[in-house]
Structure 1
């Protein structure tokens, strides 16, 4: 089994360079008497030879990065040596580059774990990842030879087996999201009015994958409206070509009972209105017995069923699709020529559709590269953690000692996404020690009765404008615990909890009492709420000079601590290619889940697994009355689901961060009960038993081991363990401990 340091090195990949680099090193190792010092020139020769050979036999391959040539045959060895610095930097966690000797070696910590068996496993890992990547390139180049019959047959025959494999970057994802939509758009009876979209799930395999054709004049999302969709049964015995209805938004808006009544009414209406020749007009579509599959069955107007092993030929399949399209066109024409009935739902939607999980990891890597290109370095996993935390809830606290770069991180993260001060998408608000109520943030009425908006209110007004709702806005509350957060921030904390879905946007209750405003102010500030494109990030210093946080604050935020700064991180000795700013749509950051029911159907296994862990932790916290409630349970589950969808961290890494950010900040005190709780939590962090009673009197051996970094080696949750060790030390040496003491 590969060491942990090697098992996830290809988790993020934008090109094939990292895999080919590793394979080139291993080839050099195998022919050069197992020498683990690799001359850059030899590696570059093997690297270039791979791309030249693959190009020469006509296989798809990543094009060279240099603009002056599009052929690997014209690419020089010198250019290749320069190119290799990019994947070497990307793998800096395992490789070291000696600029003087122009050699590559494994880091000493990795070298100690290497043997022929490990290197062979690393080779197989790289080959598998490279094959998967190349399959994507091949799928992208499928052209005129496309066969709908062969494609449907392939899906029915392979999908159940595919579900046992890694979801991220699977070739079936490319087939559903890109290849099939691209080919269907070429059909003569499908024009620019139609949006075509396919899905195998978001972050995890869907039980019922689908391919939808939507007329953009009545819907641009599968969550509502009427459209055509191929639905694959959960057992993969059948695929149904259906005229169907979107179920997600009606159920979310009305509840399942009322939504089902609407679906049934619409089914009856459309069956009476349309010819639906050669289509089944009954309720015998069988996708699954529960969940979203049951919703699909209730909302289906008419269908054609194709059975595994007897899929018709392309001519028949295309004739069937054209028939369904003709019925769909008749229905759309009737809607566009007649007024919409009063009981017709008119939910709004985002044109961009659902966030594609495959795009998230490359974007996060771009953010990291942007920050590093500006000469700043942050601990491994911090940017991924910040992204997941903001995605979970738009309020994050960055905690640490002064001078660790908290405020700079917020500014750089926002800047990497195109949010800067000059376009008003980034605002720094320094907190003053004398703040005692929300007026400093939101505003106040002057003696004449006119409303004087605070900085926060001005940002919210700008972010709420229709033309700006797709842009992310960042507000950095700098040193937010110089004043008591509960005093000046209480209104915002309460408002965050009123989030709800409305027309496919997340809205809150109004922030300002409209009755107290003059008529001329009401039009601007009367309906002011916290929109879903505003992200609040507070920086706090962890020392005795600042105010502590209450559980009301901690429950509503992820608290990210980074005190462990490596001063020996230096700027690269070569200039990286200038990293472009990502002009991000708000969809990239916006929360997609507000209640646990939003994720339970698709991620029930992960929700149960995470909740069972929290139940055990609650039994421990009960001794000091610090148990977590539903709000924290849901928040942690959302964080874990996003992480699984986007494949940014391992499951243990993600849960480690949630323990550190959502559980430990609740623990403080001077009693033996607090110490007992910390020791029991340490057991979970280590993943092995401790003799708690023996450590109650003296735990110095435990935390001294962690202070020398020896405790991290075998810990399941090393960051949590390290923090607990520090808290235990403060308790024994000072008689009191808290997460917030530096």
Structure 2
């Protein structure tokens, strides 16, 4: 039996898995029960690390974003943290979210007895001792070979890319081990920032390790620095002196950006000796466009081929030589004035979003909402988060009384955005709204500008001291008036988003020339900042107006009509979940154009697009095809989901079909019915006799009415919705996403 467990600790970024197993066994030895309450296990788990810390023994530190030591770490944080090792041990463990318990899988449980449990305990203890001893060795500065390390990356990276990304040992190697060892080199001092990466949430095609002089840059997207770049095919690694390409190309455009980079290369090659380095554009990293970008931006390089990496003495001599050239360049900048026509890129420091922190924070939001007595369908909070991350405009649709408005309030409150701190604003929509003045404001008879409630929020959110805060605006019952009339300016402005000073900005909302000189400084440059999130709630009945495709294209429409009334408040005596500590980086969009994600997620983009092409071929019959805007939005949603691991890929695509595709389908013709049946065929993942069902599809949708259809569908939520739309079409002669 022990052979079965021999692989469960093979990948160890931290000691959490071993300590979790030991906590389970200790609980069993005390109570002789193989159903473990999460709270009890969290107490044992936390007690272990607190004991290690208090006795001075070596142990992993807690996540630094949440606490500096284990004594400051709370039991609630520990319960959230345990999700990581529980998921990592999913081959042997199961977690019951409703009962908050952990058990061994039934296939394991059948083979467990006291002898096997004792063997597992000894195995976990040995692995934990070995791990902690390695920590001590690392702290004492164990021998490090740059040759062995570079060879290991080249030899194992392609195999690693087909394995799970989270907590992979190569990530530890590039992000932690190599930077820590390079900082010990005598020619690298505190002026330098050293950073490595295998990607953000997904394997990068080109991993890297950069050395940046903090006096001129601290990000690889801009400035000049030293970086080891591994080719996509892992046949070679380049030690390079180059320039960051992302920001210059984004600010100047491809043509002018290349010209700027080429001028800098010529200037630096003329300034520096660069002995022992290649000075050409023959660096080859990948077949994609980024390879060309690096060719243009590379000043000089040293190439190392797989299988013939030099020894450590040569590698360190090469690195010191490149460092000496880099130091000469940085020193030269201190004596040269900046040319007036030379572009400068100034950016406020923004902490990058760590993908590994997203899932625990979403769980905290869910716990916060549930502890306040509100329950929402499974996956809804994850969906709302991903939708807001994709684009800051979301529509919540559903029957009256399902808690749409309360969801917005509680979601915001969980992120410490409330009415009392002016970060949450409820704006009830009136039926007589017919233009944007009700939201943005108007000029009175005296010529003074009277700002609307939305304008007041935007002014506050745009202030520099508030840019790290998230602001939520709930447009309650937003379709009581025609959305296209009063919301048209906002719909258009959302499409003007662009990067400026490392932030997302839009065109101005209010015509500056129409304002008085006193109002111009406040409202003249008012735009939609990247820390404002617009969420509309809608009821679809005879008192409301339908949405146009202009609105639907620009929003994720989340519908929840399936209500389980047999949900009850949590025990008020249980430990309460506090607000989630997260700045606006947690919610803010990171991608505006498909090119922003294409390099790192090209496979996912292609797969998603191919699915949409098939759907477009179906929608073409009723002229309801989607365009590039929806294609990009769905790709962004899928990328965020893959990075943060909130839903399965099928679940995420299912929701996007439901929210971005089906709202476009309506009508009474046979063509509409044929389209729905073909879409149902794709959602089920199997062929249907479409021609036979054109006369009578009742057998198809009756299965969903009785709750028998979910298990057999690839995209169950989409299939359920289509079934109800088909029923409406056959019973009423007309169907729509909103009438089902």
- Same fold by TM-score greater than 0.5: yes
Return the alpha-carbon distance in structure 2 between the equivalents of residues 520 and 212 of structure 1: 49
Residues 226-262 of structure 1: per-residue CA shift (max 9 Å, x gap)? 1111111223233222211001122223333332222
| Superposed displacement of residue 330, structure 1 | 2.6
Q: 1:147 aligns with which of 140, 144, 165?
A: 144
Q: How many residues align?
A: 696
For residue 509 of structure 1, give the secondary structure of its aligned residue in structure 2: coil
In the TM superposition, residue 118 of structure 1 has moved relative to its aligned partner by 11
* Match among 387, 390, 394 for residue 388 of structure 2: 390
- The SS at the match of 1:694 is helix
**Residue 660 of structure 2: SS of its match in structure 1?**
helix
Alignment match, 1:95: 96
* Aligned partner of residue 501 in structure 1, secondary structure: strand
How far does residue 495 in structure 1 lie from its aligned partner after superposition?
Answer: 0.9
Answer whether contact 2:61 2:70 (CA < 8 A) is retained.
Answer: no
Which residue of 2 is the match for residue 618 of structure 1?
616
Measured against aligned partners, the alpha-carbon deviations of 1:142-192 in whole angstroms (never above 9, x if no partner) come to 431262513323222221221121223322122222333344344454444
* Contact 1:168–1:647 (8 Å) recurs in 2: no
Task: Name which of 649, 656, 659 aligns with 1:658.
Answer: 656
Q: 1:97·1:104 contact (CA, 8 Å) conserved in 2? A: no
* Structure 2 residue aligned with 1:427: 425
Q: CA deviation at 1:47?
A: 11
1:497 equivalent to 2:495? Answer yes
- Indicate the residue corresponding to 2:163 in structure 1: 165
The separation in 2 between residues aligned to 1:510 and 1:23, in whole angstroms, is 57
Corresponding residue number in structure 1 for 2:5: none
Structure 1 CA distance, aligned partners of 2:194 and 2:84?
39
Task: Give distance in 1, aligned partners of 2:314 and 2:567.
Answer: 64
Task: Provide the C-alpha distance between the structure 1 equivalents of 2:80 and 2:640, rounded to a whole number of angstroms.
Answer: 32
Distance in 1 (CA, whole Å) between partners of 2:311 and 2:641 is 41
Say yes or no: does 1:225 pair with 2:229.
no
Matched ranges for 1:450-599 at <5 A: 450-573=448-571, 575-599=573-597
- Do 1:140 and 1:179's aligned partners in 2 also have CA atoms closer than 8 Å? no
Residue in 2 that maps onto 1:245: 243
SS at match of 1:535: strand
State the match for 1:402 in structure 2: 400
Output the CA distance in 1 between the equivalents of 2:462 and 2:514.
21
C-alpha deviations, 1:550-609, integer Å up to 9, x for none? 111000000011122222222334744443423323222222222222222332222222
Tell me if the contact between 1:483 and 1:546 (Cα under 8 Å) persists in the aligned partners. yes
Q: 1:344 to 1:39 in 2, by over 3 A?
A: same
**More deviation in 265-274 or 342-351?**
342-351
Give, in angstroms, the shift of residue 301 of structure 1: 1.1
Corresponding residue for residue 717 of structure 2 = 719
Distance 1:89 1:423, change over 3 A: farther
State the partner residue of 1:8.
Answer: none
Confirm or deny: 8 A CA contact 2:42 2:82 kept in the other structure: no
- Look up the SS of the partner of 2:420 in the other structure: helix
Is contact 2:396-2:558 (8 Å) kept? yes
Q: Is the 8 A contact 1:267 1:300 kept in 2?
A: yes
> Relative to structure 1, is the Cα distance of residues 245 and 338 closer, same or farther in structure 2, using a 3 angstrom cutoff?
same
Closer/same/farther in 2, CA of residues 86 and 500 from structure 1, 3 Å limit: closer
CA contact (8 A) 2:210 2:226 kept: yes
Distance in 2 (CA, whole Å) between partners of 1:220 and 1:703 is: 58
> In 2, distance between residues paired with 1:566 and 1:167?
36
Of 306, 309, 328 in structure 2, the residue corresponding to residue 308 of structure 1 is 306
| Pairwise CA RMSD | 4.1
Contact map agreement 2:15 2:131 (CA 8 A) in 1: no
Instruction: Confirm or deny: 8 A CA contact 1:196 1:213 kept in the other structure.
Output: yes
Deviation string for 1:172-217 (max 9, x for gaps)? 1222223333443444544443332221122322221111122233
Q: Does 1:728 align with 2:704?
A: no
Partner SS state of residue 557, structure 2: strand
Distance apart, 1:655 and its partner CA: 0.5
- 2:10 aligns with none
Residue number in structure 1 paired with 2:6: none
1:325 corresponds to which residue? 323
Does structure 1 conserve the Cα–Cα contact (< 8 Å) formed by 2:59 and 2:135?
A: no
1:668 counterpart (624, 648, 666): 666
Does structure 1 residue 688 correspond to structure 2 residue 686? yes
Alignment of 1:435-454 (within 5 A): 435-454=433-452
> 2:205: which partner in 1?
207
Q: Which of 190, 193, 204 is residue 191 of structure 2 equivalent to? A: 193
Corresponding residue of 1:6: none
Identify which of 356, 359, 366 aligns with 2:357.
Answer: 359
Distance 1:631 1:465, change over 3 A: same
CA contact (8 A) 2:17 2:85 kept: no
Match for residue 4 of structure 2? Answer: none
Distance 1:41 1:364 in 2: 22
Please state how far the C-alpha of 1:425 moved relative to its aligned partner: 2.1
For 2:281 and 2:176, how far apart are their aligned partners in 1? Answer: 31
**Structure-1 residue corresponding to 2:347:** 349
Change in CA separation of 1:263 and 1:152 when aligned onto 2, cut-off 3 Å: same
Q: 1:627-652 CA deviation, whole Å, 9 max, x = no partner?
A: 11111111111111221222221111
Query: Are the counterparts in 1 of residues 94 and 103 from structure 2 also a CA contact under 8 Å?
Result: no
Deviation of 1:726 after TM superposition, in Å, equals 1.6
How far apart are residue 704 of structure 1 and its match? 1.7
Q: Which one of 232, 235, 245 corresponds to residue 234 of structure 1?
A: 232
Counterparts in 2 of 1:46 and 1:478: CA distance versus 1, 3 Å: closer
Deviations 1:662-715 (A, max 9, x none): 011111222222222212111111111121222223222222211222100110
Q: 1:189 to 1:455 in 2, by over 3 A?
A: farther
In structure 2, the partner of 1:5 is none
Deviations 1:5-51 (A, max 9, x none): xxxxxxxx9994799469959x989xx9xxxx845499979996999
Conserved 8 A contact 2:18-2:125 = no
Gaps of 5+ in 1: 1-12, 72-78, 124-128
Aligned residue in 2 for 1:126? none
Distance 1:471 1:626, change over 3 A: same
CA–CA distance in 2 between the matches of 1:96 and 1:591?
Answer: 30
- State the Cα distance separating 1:315 from its structure 2 match: 4.9
Moved more, 344-353 or 582-591: 344-353
Partner residue in 2 for 1:335: 333
